[in-house]
A and B are shown apart, each in its own frame.
Chain A
């Protein structure tokens, strides 16, 4: 369950980072400077956040308090919101 919640958060963060890169050019330049391409850095950030949060959540006692049946709607909701967030962003901005 920990990694499922980590995936939901990472997918939302992924969209938020795409918005931030587009809105704030210095962030895009900084990410490009780190690995040579902003997309490479973006992917690495997503990977680190996913596996990092997953390991942290797995060992957190509060994760047991979450109803497992709620994880699927949370994950589906995050994917739908993140996908629409990306699509609409590039339509209007």
Chain B
């Protein structure tokens, strides 16, 4: 959401909103850092039992494809989010190339972030169907 905020602000970049753009970009990066630490803590400490459940259930691809992709694609989203405040140090209202860069980076944070959310929903459902249908009952 913070990356969407940056995107919209940069579409209307001017000297008046330059400081606000930098604050929004920093907020996006800090939010991503918080997601990394908090989500990472949960993943490292609590995901293993759910992984075992998913793999024994009717939707093993929820882990084998979606979680495996998600846990690694997350780093790309995070690196892009950390790039945002650095790219926003330029005077975006006067620099078309820098403006295009920030628009592209913020859009990619949003798109890959939504893909991660979608993958999370599939993983969550993988656990639910495993609990509902029990292990080893197939599709």
Contacts and interface: CB of A to CB of B under 8 A. Distances in A.
Interface in B69-117: 69, 71-73, 75-76, 78-80, 82-83, 86-87, 97-98, 100-101, 104-105, 108, 112, 115
Interface string B30-74: 000000100010011000000000000000000011001101110
B105 to A, nearest CB: 7
A40 B44 contact: yes
Chain B interface extent, by class: 20 to 34
B43 A39 contact: yes
Contacts of B87: 3-4
The main secondary structure of chain B at its interface with chain A is helix
B100 A79 contact: no
B101 A72 contact: yes
Interface residues on A, range: 20 to 34
Contacts of B101: 4, 71-72, 75
A76 interface: yes
Contacts of A52: none
B108 A76 contact: yes
Contacts of B108: 75-76, 79
B76 A82 contact: yes
A7 B81 CA distance: 10
B104 A76 contact: yes
A39 B80 contact: no
Contacts of A54: 86
A4 to B, nearest CB: 6
B40 A40 contact: yes
A86 B104 contact: no
Given A4-B87, A83-B112, A42 B75 contact: yes
B131 to A, nearest CB: 24
A36 B40 CA distance: 13
B79 A90 contact: no
A3 B83 contact: yes
When A and B form their complex, which 8 residue pairs have the shortest distance between CB atoms, in order from nearest? A18-B72, A90-B68, A11-B76, A68-B97, A7-B83, A37-B44, A3-B86, A90-B65
7 contacts: A11-B76, A46-B75, A72-B97, A72-B104, A86-B72, A90-B68, A91-B65
